[in-house]
Structure 1
């Protein structure tokens, strides 16, 4: 018999996720919470979600497991192609042709999920910048998806939106036990680092970035969390750096000093 998640219990998880991860769970997410956490109740052989909530209060490892279960990690290679077109046609050529530039180009994929965005950025950088110095830092709150991202190994059906020229140049088709999969080239993997970062907390010392991709994550935040996250990440953006958000997202109603280049693309103009 299925264990029911009461409204009061759901509110506990709503509050916990908002406080710890900045994620706002609407009432419509109640069945998702119940379904994804039910296996943990079975694991502990407990009969209520409230009992499981009590476990989370003192077991950091189990709390991370709950975060992994409740965070949605929808992503794909070359998602929102207009952003990659802007990179290829305008932004990266300007960096490449700047004779005064000495420091490596640094890009942050701030909600990288299982790595598709970070590796898409790496492919474009490799194609546009070649051996010029560049690096990509990718982060997520979920350890589960980060573990997958570090492997650089994906099912072949994930390759549908990778341009064929890039697929042949930077992705290795699996054989034998890896048939039906592909591996991101080791040369690209060497330029990408992954780390767990909670955007809803004080950011670690990750340095400054020329571009930050904060795409399709703010849809899970309430307004106050969006405001705080954008403020934190803006501080990590170099002068004249670029911030990309999801094309279904907006900074309207938030206080910030960024200038909109096109919808979903902003720039931190040097003063």
Structure 2
């Protein structure tokens, strides 16, 4: 799509880059680009939000206006996609958010799966899709490591795949370092066991235990593009991700999840998300917990 360069639709006020205006043509381009590559629908009511958040990217890239940023996207869409996703989406996460999901995994699902896979020689796989800065997969890794020990199966082939599109979020997830005030969802017992408190320049921070790193693999992935993994997965966590997607995008995504889940595998969604009227491959079995039919 052709987009006008700096013109009446993209003017710059004299008070600095915070006052750069997002013009009609540029917003239309960004809206189409974001929907095509990220599956996120941006209504007109999001215009001011997009303008404000993208001002940071203009400064970082030393671009004069939004028309120049649109040209930049056209010249290297893949290279900027992660940064754009980071800017327009809100990465809100925490350790053990929506604890009922972890309780279901700990008390019921993981012991069942481990027992079955030990007898059959299978592997256990969990996917954190949209892992953000890593709190979700590392919380799951704490639970997984503990249940494996309880079942006498610490040597089992069990892994958690954590994926996201945001480069900044992925960097923190790989580092596994978190400010102490971000550990509120972790019990004191688990903090002592699984979080290593920093000293010196790392005072006020904690790092995840090496055992958790063994269980978690962090990789970049765009949920709308091709997926290199084959599965099957026993559980997929996709919480507070599809709130950004429209109905057709959700339908395609959930069908792809179903294809990668094992028979009776589980899909976990966020508290404000639902499969009702969207997908028939799953049945609701708990609070935003769905089991694959068949």
| TM-score normalised according to structure 2 size | 0.87
1:41-190 map, 5 Å:
41-59=58-76, 60-98=78-116, 100-130=119-149, 131-133=154-156, 134-190=158-214
Out of 253-262 and 45-54, give the one that drifted further: 45-54
Q: CA deviation at 1:206?
A: 4.2
Which residue number in structure 1 is paired with residue 256 of structure 2? Answer: 232
Alignment CA distance shift 1:46-1:151 (3 Å)? closer
Which residue number in structure 1 is paired with residue 284 of structure 2? Answer: 260
Q: CA deviation at 1:6?
A: 2.3
Q: CA deviation at 1:44?
A: 4.7
Are the counterparts in 2 of residues 210 and 237 from structure 1 also a CA contact under 8 Å?
yes
Structure 1: which 5+ runs fail to align?
none
Give distance in 2, aligned partners of 1:71 and 1:204: 24
Q: CA RMSD in A?
A: 1.7
Q: CA deviation at 1:45?
A: 4.6
Out of 121-130 and 199-208, give the one that drifted further: 199-208
Out of 112-121 and 248-257, give the one that drifted further: 248-257
Are the counterparts in 2 of residues 203 and 232 from structure 1 also a CA contact under 8 Å?
no
3-state SS of 1:66 partner: helix
Q: CA deviation at 1:54?
A: 1.3
Give distance in 1, aligned partners of 2:115 and 2:122: 14
Q: CA deviation at 1:236?
A: 0.8
Cα deviation, 1:6-45, whole Å, max 9, x if unaligned, reads: 2432222111111101112233332221122113333455
Which residue number in structure 2 is paired with residue 5 of structure 1? Answer: 22
Are the counterparts in 2 of residues 71 and 142 from structure 1 also a CA contact under 8 Å?
no
Are the counterparts in 1 of residues 231 and 261 from structure 2 also a CA contact under 8 Å?
no
Out of 40-49 and 233-242, give the one that drifted further: 40-49
Give distance in 2, aligned partners of 1:233 and 1:196: 17
Which residue number in structure 1 is paired with residue 12 of structure 2? Answer: none
Give distance in 2, aligned partners of 1:136 and 1:63: 25
Does residue 212 (structure 1) correspond to residue 244 (structure 2)? The answer is no
Structure 2: which 5+ runs fail to align?
1-14
Alignment CA distance shift 1:138-1:18 (3 Å)? same
Give distance in 1, aligned partners of 2:131 and 2:59: 30
Give distance in 2, aligned partners of 1:80 and 1:141: 22
Which residue number in structure 1 is paired with residue 40 of structure 2? Answer: 23
